[in-house]
Structure 1
Amino acid sequence: MVRFLINTLIFFGSAALGLWITSMVLDGFTIDFTGLLVAAVIFTVAQWILSPLIFKMATKYANAFLGGVGLVSTFVALLITSLVVDSLAIDGVGTWIAATVLVWLVTALATWLLPMIFLKKAVDNRRD
Structure 2
Amino acid sequence: MINFTIRAIIFLVSAAVGLIVADLVLEGVRIDWSHWWGFVLAVVIFAVLQSVLTPWAAKVARHNAPALLGGIGIVSTFVALLVVALVPGAGLTIGLPWWTWLVAPVIVWVVTALATWLLPALFIKKKVEQRRAG
Q: Fold conserved (TM > 0.5)? A: yes
Other-structure match for 1:4: 4
Q: Distance in 2 between matches of 1:96 and 1:5?
A: 31
Q: Structure 1: 5+ residue runs without aligned partners?
A: none
Answer yes or no: is 1:91 the counterpart of 2:75. no
Q: Quick check: 63-72 or 35-44, which moved more?
A: 35-44
Choose which of 103, 111, 116 in structure 2 pairs with 1:106: 111
Deviation at 1:38, TM superposition (A): 1.2
TM-score normalised by structure 2 residue count = 0.90
Runs of 4+ aligned residues of structure 1 deviating over 3 Å after TM superposition are: none
Deviation at 1:62, TM superposition (A): 0.6
The AA in structure 2 aligned to 1:122 is: K
Q: Structure 2: 5+ residue runs without aligned partners?
A: none
TM-score normalised by structure 1 residue count = 0.94
Q: What is the root-mean-square deviation in Å for CA atoms of aligned residues?
A: 1.2
C-alpha deviations, 1:14-57, integer Å up to 9, x for none? 00010011101111111123222211111010011101100100
Q: Distance in 1 between matches of 2:21 and 2:92?
A: 14
Q: Distance in 1 between matches of 2:50 and 2:127?
A: 27
Q: Distance in 2 between matches of 1:18 and 1:25?
A: 11
Answer yes or no: is 1:118 the counterpart of 2:126. no
Q: Distance in 1 between matches of 2:32 and 2:61?
A: 35
Other-structure match for 2:22: 22
Percent identity of paired positions between Structure 1 and Structure 2: 52
**Number of matched pairs:** 128
Deviation at 1:85, TM superposition (A): 4.2
| 8 Å contact kept, 1:20–1:36 | no
Deviation at 1:123, TM superposition (A): 2.9
C-alpha deviations, 1:56-104, integer Å up to 9, x for none? 0010101000000110110011011111143321113300111000000
Of Structure 1 and Structure 2, the greater helix share is in 1
Q: Distance in 1 between matches of 2:2 and 2:131?
A: 15
